[in-house]
Amino acid sequence: MGLGFEMAGAIVLFMFVGHRVDRWLATGHLFLLTGSFLGIATAFYSFFRRVWPLIRQGGGGNAK
């Protein structure tokens, strides 16, 4: 559950910052979109950084 909050938090944080920069510079939705892509990339990086050691140890499920 903590991993889900961490992923959602990263996406929301980057989108919020992008939105604020767009309002400050009056650039439409340029930084909002950029922030959302950066937030998604950060969330996936964080996810794989936590999950990859579990997969390498063989605790990744029923993969054969």
Phi-psi region of 63 (alpha: psi -120 to 50; beta: other; left: phi over 0): beta
Reported as a single tens digit per residue, the pLDDT across 10-19 is 999 999 999 9
Say yes or no to pLDDT of 55 above 90. Answer: no
- d(CA 64, CA 23) in angstroms, rounded, equals 51
In this prediction, residues 2-8 reach a mean pLDDT of: 90
- d(CA 6, CA 51) in angstroms, rounded, equals 13
In this prediction, residues 34-48 reach a mean pLDDT of: 95
In this prediction, residues 25-49 reach a mean pLDDT of: 95
Domain residue spans of the chain: 2-56
